[in-house]
Amino acid sequence: MSMKQPIQPFDWERILIHDFPWLYLGEVALRTVIMFTVLLLALTVSGKREVKQLSVYELVLLIGLGSAAGDPMFYDDVPISAAIVVFVLMMGYYIRPGLPIMPHLLRLQTEVLVVAGSYACTNCGNVQHFDGTETKPGCQRCGKHSWVKTMP
């Protein structure tokens, strides 16, 4: 019967690398770069430009994505492909209308709405649907009157 060695306080080798070879830190770096890139792509797809534009649902989504991205960065038994599947599924369910992320589309903002559809407030990102009867509506969240057609 084998006895485990007691943990030695301030055992720097255990704290820094544990039982892994030092070269494993290179793999951690590669995993981090890959998951950081996947996270940036997911946030780009979501179309959000600022944290103040996030709803509670979107904040929970970001926390979930952060967890899915973090685990394969440094756990050797969590494959990157599993995290990418989580990202694809979460973003697939998330995609909905929002502010466009391309600057030239933001320049198409208007205060007068004559076509029915979903519009995003260019000040706070709030999305509202208009039926075309109200020509100069104010945002329900911030009261501003500047709108841009939402991106699907």
| Contact of 113 with 132, CB cutoff 8 Å | yes
Domain chopping of the chain, boundaries = 20-94, 97-152
pTM, two decimals, is 0.49
Segment 47-82, tens digit of pLDDT: 655 666 666 667 777 888 888 888 888 787 888 888
Q: Which positions ≥6 away from 75 have C-beta within 8 Å?
A: none
Residue type, 100: P
Are residues 87 and 65 in contact, defined by beta-carbon separation less than 8 angstroms? yes
Kindly report the backbone phi and psi dihedral angles of residue 110, in degrees, each rounded to the nearest multiple of 5, phi listed first. Answer: -145, 160
pLDDT per position as a tens digit, 96-120: 777 776 677 778 888 988 888 899 8
Give the separation between CA 102 and CA 104, rounded to whole angstroms.
6
Beta-bridge partner residues of 127: 120
Q: Which fold has domain 97-152?
A: Rubrerythrin, domain 2 (2.20.28)
Instruction: Give per-residue pLDDT as tens, 109-151.
Output: 889 888 888 998 888 888 899 887 777 889 998 899 999 988 7
